[in-house]
Amino acid sequence: MKIKKFRGKTILEALKKVKKEFGEEAVILSSEQIKTEEGTICEITAAIEEEEIKIKDNFQNFNTKAEKSEYKFEDYHSIKEEILEIKKMLKQILNSQFKDISYLNLVEKGIPPFIAQKLSTANPNLTEFISKALKQKGSVPNSKYQVFIGDSGSGKTTNIFKLATWYKYKHDAKVLVVSLDNYKVGNNYQTKRLAELLEVDFEILDLEELKEVEPILDKYNYVLIDTPSLEKRLLINDLEDLILGMPFLRFQWVVRATEHYEYILKQWEKIEKLPVEGILLTFVDRVYNSLPLFWILDERIPPITFISNGERLPEDILKAEEDIIKKLILKDIVNI
Ligand SMILES: Nc1nc2c(ncn2[C@@H]2O[C@H](COP(=O)(O)OP(=O)(O)OP(=O)(O)O)[C@@H](O)[C@H]2O)c(=O)[nH]1
Ligand SMILES: [Mg+2]
- Between residues 335 and 256, which one has the greater pLDDT? 256
- Say yes or no: 179 and 84 in one domain: no
- Say yes or no: 179 and 325 in one domain: yes
- Say yes or no: 172 and 290 in one domain: yes
Nearest ligand, measured from the Cα of 309: 1
CATH number at residue 237: 3.40.50.300
- Say yes or no: 82 and 198 in one domain: no
Rg, C-alpha atoms of the chain: 27
Give the pLDDT confidence score for residue 257 in this predicted structure. 97
Domains of the chain: total: 3
Centre of ligand 2 from the C-alpha of residue 159, in Å: 9
Q: Per-residue pLDDT tens for 233-274?
A: 788 888 999 999 999 999 999 999 999 999 999 999 999 999
Q: Per-residue pLDDT tens for 179-220?
A: 998 776 666 788 999 999 999 999 999 888 888 888 888 899
Report residues whose beta carbon is within 6 angstroms of any ligand 1 atom.
150, 152-159, 181, 229, 282-283, 285-286, 308-311
Asked whether 106 and 119 are in contact (CB, 8 A), the reply is yes
- Between residues 87 and 282, which one has the greater pLDDT? 282
- Between residues 139 and 159, which one has the greater pLDDT? 159
Q: Which of 151, 158, 253 to mutate to test the pocket of ligand 1 (most atoms within 8 A of CB)?
A: 158
Provide the pairing of β-strand 304-308 with 27-36. Answer: unpaired
Report the distance separating Cα 76 and Cα 316, nearest Å.
Answer: 36
pTM of the predicted protein model: 0.73
The boundaries of the domain holding residue 58 are 54-95
Centre of ligand 2 from the C-alpha of residue 76, in Å: 53
What does 50-78 look like in DSSP terms, one character per residue? HHHHHHHHHHHHHHHHHHTT-S-HHHHHH
- Say yes or no: 87 and 205 in one domain: no
Residue 290 domain-assigned (yes or no): yes
Q: Per-residue pLDDT tens for 71-87?
A: 566 666 677 777 777 77
The total of other beta-carbon atoms located within 10 Å of residue 304's CB is: 24
DSSP state of 227: -
Tell me: pLDDT of 58 over 60. no
Residue 39 domain-assigned (yes or no): yes
Centre of ligand 2 from the C-alpha of residue 254, in Å: 11
